[in-house]
Amino acid sequence: MKLNLRIFVVVLAIAAGVTFSSSRVAAQAVPLSTDLPVKPKAVKPLKYDGQVIASNSATITVRSKENPMLTQTFTYSPAVRDQMIKILNKGGYQFGDKVVIHYTPGTTTAVKLQGKPSKPRVFTSPNTSQK
């Protein structure tokens, strides 16, 4: 099959146009910023109101006040962990204690605990003395 001279010239012209047009692209200069660096804004903690189901030195599990079927387990930030150890040494939170937990959005890390722990329950054995 013979190449048509007209088609060959058109293809050659398109190839030359593409080749030479791309070589003239200039690099874009990025302007330097003279502004001070922007500090990220502090994220406001969210609140979780509820009743304590269980707590220990590592986590606290809380039932939501609005929806009793919804429970959430939180870990502690270092400052809250020290506070929680002091509370646990005095008896800790008991089942049903009302607490408000402040936590960072997107995580389950408690940054603040509010709520008064109730007195620890003391279980005694029945009196077995005979008269």
Give residue limits of the domains in the chain.
46-114
Percent of the chain scored above 70 by pLDDT?
A: 86
What span, in angstroms and rounded, lies between the C-alpha atoms of 54 and 94? 7
Determine if the pTM surpasses 0.85.
Answer: no
Average pLDDT for the chain? 84
Element (H, E) at 6: helix 5-22
Check residue 111 and give its pLDDT. Answer: 95
- Kindly report, residue by residue over 111-129, the tens digit of the pLDDT: 999 999 988 777 777 776 5
Check residue 40 and give its pLDDT. Answer: 80
What span, in angstroms and rounded, lies between the C-alpha atoms of 6 and 3? 9
CATH 3.40.640.10 matches 46-114: no
Check residue 39 and give its pLDDT. Answer: 79
Nearest C-alpha neighbor of 46 from the set 120, 115, 130, 112? 112
- Kindly report, residue by residue over 19-54, the tens digit of the pLDDT: 776 555 556 667 766 777 777 888 899 999 999 999
Q: Which residue has the higher pLDDT, 24 or 9?
A: 9
Nearest C-alpha neighbor of 95 from the set 56, 51, 59? 51
What span, in angstroms and rounded, lies between the C-alpha atoms of 77 and 83? 10
Percent of the chain scored above 90 by pLDDT?
A: 53
Residue 21 φ/ψ region, left for φ over 0, alpha for ψ in the -120 to 50 degree band, beta for the rest: alpha
Q: For residue 86, what is the DSSP state? A: H
